[in-house]
Structure 1
Amino acid sequence: MTNAAALFDALSGADRVSTRLDDAAWIRALLAVEVALSHAAAAHGLVPAADADRMEQAAAGLHIDPAALGRAAVEGGNPVIPLVRLLRTAAGAAAAAVHPGATSQDVLDTGLVLLVRSAADVVLDDLGAAADAAAVLAAAHRDTPMIARTLGQQALPTTFGAVAAGWSAGLDRARRRLSAVVGGLPVQFGGAAGTLAASYPHGPAVADALADRLGLARQGVPWHTERTRIGELAGALGVAAGACAKPAADVVALAATELGEVSEAAPGDSSSMPHKRNPIAAITARACARRAPGLAATLLAAMEHEHQRAAGAWHAEWESLTDLLRATGGAAARLRVCLSGLQIHPEAMARNLRPNAAEPGRHHAADLVDRILAARAS
């Protein structure tokens, strides 16, 4: 598969996330849903168990060209429709075990949840590692004095430990929220109009069995046009990106030549100015984070799904959500690199302190570090 973002994925830190969201991953997820659905339906007598087994074997033997599947999806507006045709052809006599009681949105929404779960594992790992790195900096520099800056001007003394502890607290909070939202994403199974009519009276039981087989939360009721979960996910990803942007912005400012209070372990160079040492990991983290609000806004705007199936709003979610995962994932990955090797320059911090600055604020800041790190440990 050709990845259109291959030129920029590594630079932006999105390479690990992107491998879990590419075309091959989409197809694997959709097939996994179809196979699990056939077995869930068989468990409740809607299709023969032997046919579900044959359907699974047929799915395992398929070799699908993403570009060809994409072209075939144009007519119906989503890739599940041609995928089901391929599965039924491959299953032969067991074709009735393919897609029992489902509609395309059931499979695509559930497949998207599987992709989100997989990609979010990477994002959460990088958020956690960035928070850990910030906490290490906070502990090491609990008493390292520096000047606080408010509205771009020198204010009162603080410590670098207090600054880094604040970074850690924000990243931890964003990580916990994102983890909770992702963990609560459910299966989708409602049938053509969201009434489960095609699998009556076993629809709710099949939906629960499908969720259990895929390791997802149970849905309660179908959510074809009730998109609060997607909105919550968009918000959590946007907040996580913002939590990454804050320390990245501070690092860029503190690394400026005029301040020189921090520097990255592997700064970037310039094509025309050999003296430059650019905080490139922080810069690219900020770049990724700045893409997130627009993508989150698109998903929030797309929550308005009319009637029982949306015409366009649903379709707008697929790429917007995967792009948002890439943006937030890239911000977290690049911030992890930035903070894990961040070099602190206490002598520059001491030099930049105003000579007449009062000392007590510095000690209060050190106490704040202790409280934040203690809360984190608990």
Structure 2
Amino acid sequence: MSEPARSDHTRGSLFDPVFGAGDLAPMLSDRAWLTALLDVEVAITRAARHHGRATADDVAAVAAAAGEIARELDPTELGRLSAAGGNPVIPLVKILRERADAPAGAVHVGATSQDVLDTALMVLAHKAGRHVVTDLRTAADAAARLASAHRDTPMVARTLGQQALPTTFGALAATWLVALDDGVTELERALEMLPAQYGGAAGTLAAVYPDGPAFADTLADLLGLARPVVPWHTARTPITRLASALGVATGSVSKAATDVVLMATTEFGEVSEDAPGGSSAMPHKRNPVAAITARAAARRVPGLVATALAAADHEFARAAGAWHAEWETITDLIRLSGGAAHQLSVSLGGLHVHPAALARNLGLTGGAILAEKVTAALAEHTDDARDIVTAAAVAGTPLDRDQSITGHLGADRVRELLDPTRYLGHAGDLVDRAVARHEITKGPA
């Protein structure tokens, strides 16, 4: 059976909800692309009117035709028509001119296909990117709550997969928080700088001379985008900046999600999600699905960032292939970054922390993780302190029962030294700093 035509399909209707992009995907669908292209064309005609190159009637006619096309034209059909010219703007402009009750010269005024496609991508990225920022902020807020609630909840810090020293769950959550806040800052900056594109056939604005730069500024203002300094047809900083910011933000998501997945393992049992997923074969399983799918979406992001950066070498005044490689790359990059951020917000927003399990795992070594503290105290009594403590640790002898140690310090003193709550350093202070910065950066509620 053949698949029915889907005029509004996203990049993956089956998997978008799984990877958190259920709400975001329609903003980046083929229908959204078509609508954005038409919005740019209407804005070009509006800018033309502002500069005396079109009339109010022209604007009304082009806007009406664009609205009709946005509702009725199947993106699948537009895609078929686009193959010959290599981009959808060429056939779309033809259809718009045929449908609009306006002179042909009032449509696509002074523009080239890249102007419309690049600007449409900026429009989509600006709108969908704000959605990504919202989910990142939600995840950061959840991390802040966890950090505050567990500011002084002891747990073991792990380095290179091994138990290291005591810390607190709040301190771990604070690292998530700072990274997520940094991701928000980077992405917001990139979104604020997204510019309109308008340069004409070769980037000289010759078709609208002497109004070119002013025309470009008007177009940007009409679409809520940044004003371009010059046409950026082959200077792809806006694209690479956006891709890099999405990569930074998604990296912060992946870090937190990875910690949650590991801490939720049966052996650790230190956290669990509010609505864990099951298994089709193993009824006992409670999988941290939100964190898992956040990681899955995030895993695909670095490759797309690399593609965007690799495609930045646009030659001369129009790239042959590098430009074309960006369209779906950036669309997918936003979708996956947003999906990862959303799934992490779900995970952290309903995360249950289990202090008893944290305490159990903190005590697994019988105090050996505080050997450096015992060594420092013992060194005041003997030059062989390190060798003595190392030998006890290697033998698996509890430090408060090793006579080579207790003979100098006494068992009670050693047990005091082995109390993890007495060796948390500035864990609480670091939580306070991270949460305070978060409150400042997120602004008033």
- What TM-score do you get using the length of structure 1 for normalisation? 0.98
Amino acid across the alignment from 2:331: T
The CA deviation at 1:310 is 0.3
Cα distance in 2, alignment partners of residues 151 and 59 from structure 1: 58
Task: State the partner residue of 1:373.
Answer: 435
Cα distance in 1, alignment partners of residues 132 and 273 from structure 2: 22
Match of 2:126 among 89, 106, 117: 117
Listed one character per residue, the Cα deviations across residues 144-191 of structure 1 (whole Å, up to 9, x for unaligned) are: 000100010001100000001110110010011101101110000000
Task: State the partner residue of 2:394.
Answer: none
Listed one character per residue, the Cα deviations across residues 118-161 of structure 1 (whole Å, up to 9, x for unaligned) are: 11111111100000000000000001000100010001100000
Task: State the partner residue of 1:36.
Answer: 43
Task: State the partner residue of 2:349.
Answer: 340
The CA deviation at 1:4 is 5.3
Task: State the partner residue of 1:226.
Answer: 235
The answer to whether the 8 Å contact 1:147/1:157 transfers is yes
Amino acid across the alignment from 2:306: A
Cα distance in 2, alignment partners of residues 238 and 375 from structure 1: 22
Match of 2:226 among 217, 231, 235: 217
In 2 relative to 1, CA 331–264 (structure 1 residues): closer, same or farther, beyond 3 Å? same
Listed one character per residue, the Cα deviations across residues 215-241 of structure 1 (whole Å, up to 9, x for unaligned) are: 111001000000011111111111111
Cα distance in 2, alignment partners of residues 97 and 33 from structure 1: 13
The CA deviation at 1:249 is 0.4
The answer to whether the 8 Å contact 2:157/2:166 transfers is yes
User: Is the deviation greater in 183-192 or in 364-373?
Assistant: 364-373
1:362 aligns with 2:371: no
Task: State the partner residue of 1:64.
Answer: 73
Listed one character per residue, the Cα deviations across residues 312-337 of structure 1 (whole Å, up to 9, x for unaligned) are: 00000000001111111111011011
Unmatched runs of 5 consecutive residues or more in structure 1: none
Task: State the partner residue of 1:7.
Answer: 14
Task: State the partner residue of 2:105.
Answer: 96
Task: State the partner residue of 1:46.
Answer: 53
User: Is the deviation greater in 329-338 or in 348-357?
Assistant: 348-357
The CA deviation at 1:93 is 4.1
Match of 2:137 among 108, 128, 131: 128
The answer to whether the 8 Å contact 2:140/2:181 transfers is yes
**What SS does the corresponding residue of 2:163 show, helix, strand or coil?**
strand
Cα distance in 2, alignment partners of residues 115 and 304 from structure 1: 23
**Larger Rg over CA atoms:** 2
Cα distance in 2, alignment partners of residues 38 and 231 from structure 1: 29
Q: Any residues of structure 2 matched to 1:238-277 within 5 Å, and which? A: 238-277=247-286
Amino acid across the alignment from 2:199: G
Cα distance in 2, alignment partners of residues 231 and 306 from structure 1: 16
The answer to whether the 8 Å contact 2:62/2:102 transfers is no
In 2 relative to 1, CA 199–49 (structure 1 residues): closer, same or farther, beyond 3 Å? same
Percentage identity across paired residues of the two chains:
60
Match of 1:320 among 318, 324, 329: 329
Amino acid across the alignment from 1:127: L
The answer to whether the 8 Å contact 1:143/1:363 transfers is no
Cα distance in 1, alignment partners of residues 237 and 110 from structure 2: 24
1:236 aligns with 2:298: no
**What SS does the corresponding residue of 1:148 show, helix, strand or coil?**
strand
Cα distance in 2, alignment partners of residues 281 and 56 from structure 1: 42
The answer to whether the 8 Å contact 2:216/2:227 transfers is yes
Cα distance in 2, alignment partners of residues 52 and 5 from structure 1: 36
Count of residues in Structure 1 that have an aligned counterpart in Structure 2 = 378
Listed one character per residue, the Cα deviations across residues 29-54 of structure 1 (whole Å, up to 9, x for unaligned) are: 01110001001011111223322222
The CA deviation at 1:65 is 1.1
The answer to whether the 8 Å contact 2:19/2:297 transfers is yes
Match of 2:206 among 192, 197, 203: 197
RMSD between aligned residues:
1.1
The answer to whether the 8 Å contact 2:89/2:113 transfers is yes
In 2 relative to 1, CA 368–4 (structure 1 residues): closer, same or farther, beyond 3 Å? closer
The answer to whether the 8 Å contact 2:186/2:248 transfers is no
- What TM-score do you get using the length of structure 2 for normalisation? 0.83
Listed one character per residue, the Cα deviations across residues 238-288 of structure 1 (whole Å, up to 9, x for unaligned) are: 111110000100011111111111011111111111111111111111001
Match of 1:159 among 161, 168, 174: 168
The answer to whether the 8 Å contact 2:129/2:191 transfers is yes
Cα distance in 2, alignment partners of residues 52 and 3 from structure 1: 31
Amino acid across the alignment from 2:431: V
Cα distance in 2, alignment partners of residues 91 and 237 from structure 1: 38
Listed one character per residue, the Cα deviations across residues 83-128 of structure 1 (whole Å, up to 9, x for unaligned) are: 0000100124432200010000000000000000111111111100
1:19 aligns with 2:26: yes
Moved over 6 A (4+): none
Greater relative contact order (CA < 8 Å, ≥ 6 in sequence): 1
